[in-house]
Chain A
Amino acid sequence: MSAESKYETHEYDVLVIGAGGAGLRAAIEASAMGARTALVCKSLLGKAHTVMAEGGIAAAMANVDPQDGWETHFKDTMRGGVFVNNWRMAQLHAQQAPDRVRELERWGAVFDRTHDGKILQRAFGGHTYRRLVHVGDRTGLEMIRTLQEKGVHQGIDVFMECAVTRLLKDGDRIAGAFAYWRETGRYVIFKSKAVVLCTGGIGKAYKITSNSWEYTGDGQALAYHAGAELLDMEFLQFHPTGMVWPPGVSGLLVTESVRGDGGQLRNNKGERFMFKHIPDRYKPQISETEAEANQWIAEIRAGKQPTARKPAELLPRDIVARGIYMEVKEGRGSPHGGVFLDISHMPAEYVKKKLPSMYHQFKDLADVDITREPMEVGPTTHYIMGGIRVNPDTQESAVPGLFAAGEAAGGLHGANRLGGNSLSDLLVFGKLAGEHAAQHAKTAGPPKVDDAQADGAAREMNEFFTRADGENPYQIHAELQDMMQSLVGIFRVEDELRKSLEKLATLKNRAARVCIKEGNKMFNPGWHLCKDLQNMILIAEAVARAAQFRKESRGAHSRLDHPGFNPEFAKVNTVAFKGRDGAMQLEGRPLPEMPAELKQLIETEKNHKERHG
């Protein structure tokens, strides 16, 4: 029997996998261009990670600081990413983000306002000017709800709680995807001329993370197996401020807006330790004394143009995360192994208005009233800068017809992402991916689904039940998380990376025999985890291999055995792909050449930086 008659089959021009900001924006664009568009997601619509984003969307709209413009946003992004970003993506992103935000407003988003009725923007780490468009600390909810409304009224077909396990190919080109319904466990085939992967990140491979169960690296793994390349997987962001107590919420995010709105970091001696960690390249922007930092806070609170430099708490995330880590390691941490983040010096009403969900999160979950007492925070695995390698103008991967956008794609953020640059990334590149996928579908003929591929995909899922003697997936998952946390964490070293790869090989073998003894195919999370585990282990391998390859410290990637930049590695991105023998290959690929005018924009900065670190 042919696969199409055996399995429930749907046919589309464009299949978008993932319904966060990137997927929704891609689907909206594809369908606006006349493509028959399907949107598939593992959770219910509106529950993707994007809903959790707090701080804001970075866009140089210059509503608050009139000096801002795309050039500065571009420079900030490149500097934050320590110059290994894809320059073209950084340029498109900075240029197009303001239009994407305005469009959201036209579709119903209700952002906080300035006194004169424009969209308000707040300060964030690494951004020269106040740039983050926001709604209190629930910007992601505003964004996803707006896109969701726009999408469903535009006739996109949504397949909720449907998980893709394999991409289908017709020769070299993409032919669609194989999935199961979470509710019933029934298999389903999506036949489509173009596929856009917007599946988000990989944080669930780590023990302490701000990420949900969905972040198992599915998109990266699907693309890898389909023949696409994974870029810069060593660049994994540890957000400096996650909750550390109580245990059930450890890793839960504490938004950077707390610092953007005046929050101070202190160790157990009461010292504002970030002033000790200001790299030379940030000195022009960052206060060197507490007095100056406090002046900046007073100025923004009064709604004035700041004359002081920004507090050291607003250095980019990689620097703050390492600063916190060192305080704890050297015995100056808080009782539960973090440091103190304090915003209680600001008026209670201000805190509740600006940070309502943080206020509730700490009050409800940790019995801490942040308007009166400090929070305890520490680094948490948050975001992957690396991802599926794409053409910067079209978002197409190395596989014809396969596109990627959002956190699942790599390139824009280089070695470290600035806060707010993800939500803008989703909008800008979600749109481009949708547009080019629809374009591709216009000229591509109908794909053919290969029966053997579909049957193979079904067999993989069935075997988790039929196998008699395997291990429980939860056990292997816990071991993976512990191992990645301790061996491929904030600080890395050759010995531990080698060990992690050995451990991963063992885990991979054990996971190949994983099985589920309870329940049936109806909404069975244990069964789902059996498959997710394979993806996490694969992606963990890409992270560890890339981390081993890059023998320098850059952005979020810190090698204890190779501190500082290495000029050889400054010239390359890392690329992981499946070799002919089926084993993972890793190589350095020269950075694309930047045009002269952009080079000039960042040259002075860069020289300074390579000299002073």
Chain B
Amino acid sequence: MAEVRKFKVYRGDKNGGQLTEYNVQVEPGMVVLDGIHQIQRTQAADLACRWNCKAAKCGSCSAEVNGKPRLLCKTRLDDFDPAEIITVRPVKTFPLIRDLVCDVSWNFEVNKKIPPLTPKKTADWVMHQEDMDRVQEFRKCIECFLCQNVCHVLRNHDLKDRFYGPRFMVRIACLEMHPMDGLDRTKLLKDEAGLGFCNITKCCTEVCPEEIHITDNAIIPLKERVADRHYDPLRAFWRKIMGADHPCTCADGG
């Protein structure tokens, strides 16, 4: 007889909800998303969940599994102890729509505010792979928004009106380091984008499924760029409200 695994899945909407238990028939190599699909097929036709590629390429299926922010299509059941219940909740930082689906539209609004590639006036587009490598690292981003979800500035302090979040630091770094770009975004970084709010806890880097070195390769170089050009009052402000050594609160999934 096939092995059975207990799932607890959050069911509800903005008015509230609860974890609901389901039994899932286990197949070899199964991922959590397979379990969710099985539940939809056999027990709860209306269970809401986003997905597209099933291969960690589209960034649709972000959720929190046993407290950890993950891509459901990349989270194997056999990564967990056989006795462990699989608990799936929606990501916490964004408003819930239904079940595992959250309203992530804020991210798309932020993106609109970032001036796109603005090429320097140059006739030929000769670019060398060495210069492309670091830009290509940032271009790997699949917009799963897991980094946005764990960043304590957004998650615990809800400063969405002050800080664009790590995903968009990656986006800006990518533009700033593009060999053909001719725009300077340091003022944006310092002011609206709120780069100073990041206190380099590196929680974003830890969750990134694309293994982008968000803090080391994007945020820190951007901070250096900004420091080169501007005095940063936000950093002073942050110290004042948070204390100098703000502990990382994001990895516990709470």
**Hey, which bits of chain A sit against chain B, CB under 8 A?**
43-49, 51-52, 102, 105-108, 110, 112-113, 116-118, 135-136, 138, 141-142, 145, 149-150, 152-153, 158, 160, 183, 212-214, 245-249, 252-253, 357, 360-361, 364-367, 472-474, 478, 516-520, 522-527, 529
Contacts and interface: CB of A to CB of B under 8 A. Distances in A.
B45 A138 contact: no
A248 B30 contact: yes
Contacts of B64: none
B44 A246 contact: no
Contacts of A43: 50, 52, 60
B48 interface: yes
Interface in B60-78: 60, 74, 76
A252 B54 contact: yes
B59 interface: yes
Nearest to B125: A105
A252 B55 CA distance: 8
A605 B210 CA distance: 45
A342 B105 CA distance: 42
Contacts of A478: 41
A361 B55 contact: yes
Contact of B56 (A107, A364, A473): A364
A52 B119 contact: no
Contacts of A108: 116-117, 175, 178
Contacts of A525: 40, 45-49
Given A46-B58, A46-B143, A519-B46, 13 more contacts: A47-B59, A52-B57, A110-B132, A149-B117, A183-B97, A246-B27, A247-B29, A365-B31, A474-B45, A519-B45, A523-B48, A525-B46, A527-B46
B55 A247 contact: no
Interface residues of B, number: 58
B126 A118 contact: yes
A473 B56 CA distance: 27
A526 B37 CA distance: 11
15 contacts: A51-B52, A52-B52, A52-B58, A108-B116, A145-B139, A152-B108, A152-B112, A183-B101, A246-B28, A247-B27, A247-B29, A357-B55, A361-B55, A365-B29, A365-B55
A138 B129 CA distance: 16
A44 B50 contact: yes
B40 A474 contact: yes
Contacts, number: 168
B98 A522 contact: yes
A245 B136 contact: no
Contacts of A365: 29, 31, 55, 74, 76
Interface of B: 13, 27-31, 34, 40-42, 44-60, 74, 76, 97-99, 101, 103-105, 108, 111-112, 115-117, 119, 125-129, 132, 135-136, 139-143, 175, 178
> Top 8 nearest A-B pairs by Cβ distance?
A246-B29, A519-B46, A526-B45, A117-B126, A108-B117, A523-B48, A518-B46, A248-B34
Contacts of B115: 153
A453 B28 CA distance: 48
Contact of A52 (B53, B129, B132): B53
Given A47-B60, A113-B127, A248-B31, A212 B54 contact: yes
Given A45-B108, A105-B125, A113-B129, A472 B116 contact: no
Contact of B57 (A45, A51, A474, A519): A51
A106 B119 contact: yes
A579 B141 CA distance: 48
A141 B48 CA distance: 25
B73 to A, nearest CB: 8
A213 B30 CA distance: 18
A523 B97 contact: yes
A152 B107 CA distance: 13
Nearest to B71: A364
B52 A213 contact: yes
A518 B115 CA distance: 44
A365 B76 CA distance: 7
Contacts of B44: 518
